[in-house]
Chain A
Amino acid sequence: MSGGSAWQGNWKVRLHERVRELGYDSLTAFANARPAVPLLALADELGEDDVAGVQVLSELLAEAERSHQVTRLMRDVLVRELSECLPDGWPAVLDDANRFKVAMALGSWAAFAPETHEQRADQVSDALLATPPPPGWRPLGPDDELLLTLLPDEEV
């Protein structure tokens, strides 16, 4: 684990430089080429020592706001969080331990939601817990059918 060098210097400049070095013209394009890959892994690919997952998230959000695709990004990030916290897919039985795992994934995702999307994020988690997806459900990207139903695009 890094000694905190992710926060030294101008991290935004560093992050976008790395994206360009890898041949992408935006961070979103870089992320889109890696659907369902957790934020931690995206950050490590951009800079194992000096790029943090939350920085990737925050810049993805900035790009999504500019292109009016925040809702899509929210689905995209939920997919990444589920892949991080529930690598084997949605649990078959929601016992206490599994319920915590799900809660941790949804909580982590909700914490990423910008103010404009907080309420919708809460509704999505409530819906997922009230009517659980089939066991083993593992969305592969922001265009997952169930997620599109729960969190459809509104923006134009």
Chain B
Amino acid sequence: MTSTQWVLLAMALLSTGCASLPSQGRGMNLRYTQHEATTPALADVAEAAGGALPRDAARPVQPGLAQTRQALLGAILHVSASTRRLSSELSRLEASKAGIAGPPTIFIPFVHEGLEHLRWIDAELAAATRLAHTASEVEDPDMQRALLRLAGPRLQSALLGSMLLAAWVDFLHLADVVLERCPYYSVERLFIRMHRLQRLMEPSMKALASLEPGQVEAAAKDLPALMGHLTGEFHSTREEVRTAAERYEQMWVVKDLIDLLTTASVMKVALPRLAASAVPATLGVDLVAGSDGVMMGTRVVVSAEWVETMRQLVRAGVLSLPAVSAAVRIEAGQVLLAEAHDELPKGVREALGDGPEVRAMRVTDRAGAGMAEPPEHHVLPREFREWFEQRGFTGEMSIDQFCVRMQRADHEAIHGGGDWRMGRKWPGEWNRMIMKALHKAETDAGRMLTPSEVLKVVAYRMRLYKLPMNFTPWRGP
């Protein structure tokens, strides 16, 4: 598609107040699609490159572990700061008796919905933090890296979830102002609008909360478009309220409030562009990585510090580039999306940690296009689930989180020593050996082992079997 076509398309989309994308993925189980505006010209967009979480520890890309862990904790803090802000805003809204929490009480479930999302986001942040701390307690570098990689998907979902939640909180604020100050704006109209937005957001939130890699990846890819759509909705609602206020000559009452809302909004970047109809021609192409971070024109979209954190986490295989890209595109405002919907410019991608090695990781991680991935197998034997639970292997540390993918023949070999008929009689049989090593270590230590001690034993056993220390959650029954 030529740049002229892009501009025309962008303008066409913007004139409908929408810059979202048509569905374009194969085999994705979640798609946000904007029904009113699908554009045939966009339907043949190639699927974005890559996307699976890079996870193989055998690759040459291995930043320092301490750095990776610091970057992870830094990124968690960053998201936590935003959830704390959202938490206090939601509490305020929950108590806004003159506004959204007042009669008619039909609006309060919207606030509660926000609180529900906040709960899972905070829970994932806490789990990611615990994993990072456990990682610091095990000495084996591969096991440390594996634990940081278990934390990655949780951080990634929390990061994207918090962005979406911030947009929702913006709508709650707008509704609060309208309900408190603008009696002339139809309550029914506002309710229908909020309800529709809630239903639009729900699948993405669900997908992010599921932590299921395929679903999260699909949600991440769709998120910038969804945010773009929400921005359009925010803009048009705001304009309607403004018009209604003008009609009732009460502009002075709401104007300042609405302007204030916009300034604090997560959508503030994109909003002015929506309002100015002829702008897109010059925008979107100038997203570049510089010493200040990622810049759009003269504006810093994301700081150099943030870029550095993300670069480390992407290169270490903790976060996936599609998720990080989605975050950057949201920060840049959705106008950009019309021109570069699925991909960030090359320079920006590279600044975020994309490179030949990371791309190679993704390709090998997928076990080849179209090939079924080998099945998962528990490293910590399932028949001893309770034993592990008593030692702290619950939640994010559940034994179901510690599975490795192995071809059937390899799996049979570690249980039967290459002769399947020997089954568990083989002296090297995995389950027997690991449990024996753990039971005996406990007896000799004279106490229960801590989770990180159990993982130390496990890491050593995995080395003895040359198993890749590369965990994937159990998805079977």
Contact = CB atoms under 8 A, between A and B. Distances in A.
A114 interface: yes
Among A39, A52, A57, A58, chain B packs the most CB atoms within 10 A around the CB of A52
12 contacts: A1-B468, A7-B409, A7-B413, A11-B413, A40-B463, A57-B464, A61-B427, A100-B445, A107-B442, A108-B460, A112-B433, A129-B444
Given A103-B441, A111-B433, A11 B418 contact: yes
Interface residues of B, number: 42
Contact of B466 (A43, A107, A129): A43
Contact of A57 (B409, B428, B443): B428
B465 A52 contact: yes
A83 interface: no
Q: How large is the interface on A (under 10, 10 to 19, 20 to 34, 35 or more residues)?
A: 35 or more
B464 A10 contact: no
A104 B456 contact: yes
A84 B414 CA distance: 22
B417 A103 contact: no
A106 B469 contact: no
B418 A10 contact: yes
Q: Which 9 A-B pairs have the closest CB atoms?
A: A107-B441, A103-B444, A107-B440, A7-B410, A103-B445, A111-B436, A111-B437, A6-B466, A52-B466
Contact of A106 (B440, B446, B465): B440
Interface of B: 56-58, 142, 406-407, 409-410, 413-414, 417-418, 426-428, 432-434, 436-446, 449, 453, 456-457, 460-461, 463-469
Contacts of A149: none
Nearest to A122: B440
Interface string A67-107: 00000000000000000110000000000000110111011
A107 B418 contact: no
Contacts of B432: 111
A4 B407 CA distance: 9
A110 B437 contact: yes
A1 B141 CA distance: 11
Nearest to B419: A12
Interface of A: 1-8, 10-12, 39-40, 43, 49-55, 57-58, 61, 84-85, 99-100, 102-104, 106-108, 110-112, 114, 122, 125, 129
Among B409, B413, B432, chain A packs the most CB atoms within 10 A around the CB of B413
Given A100-B445, A107-B437, A110-B437, A12 B468 contact: no
Contacts of A51: 466
Given A54-B428, A100-B445, A125 B466 contact: no
Contacts of A52: 464-466
Contacts of B468: 1-4
Contact of B464 (A40, A99, A125): A40
Given A53-B465, A99-B445, A103-B445, 10 more contacts: A4-B467, A7-B418, A50-B466, A52-B466, A57-B428, A58-B427, A61-B427, A104-B437, A107-B441, A111-B437
Given A7-B414, A39-B464, A107-B437, A114 B453 contact: no
B407 to A, nearest CB: 8
B254 to A, nearest CB: 62
A53 B463 contact: yes
A10 B428 CA distance: 16
Given A11-B413, A100-B441, A103-B442, A3 B436 contact: no
Nearest to B374: A4
A2 B443 CA distance: 32
B273 to A, nearest CB: 47
Contacts of B414: 7
A127 B249 CA distance: 93
Given A1-B57, A111-B436, A125 B465 contact: no
B410 A1 contact: no
A125 B427 CA distance: 20
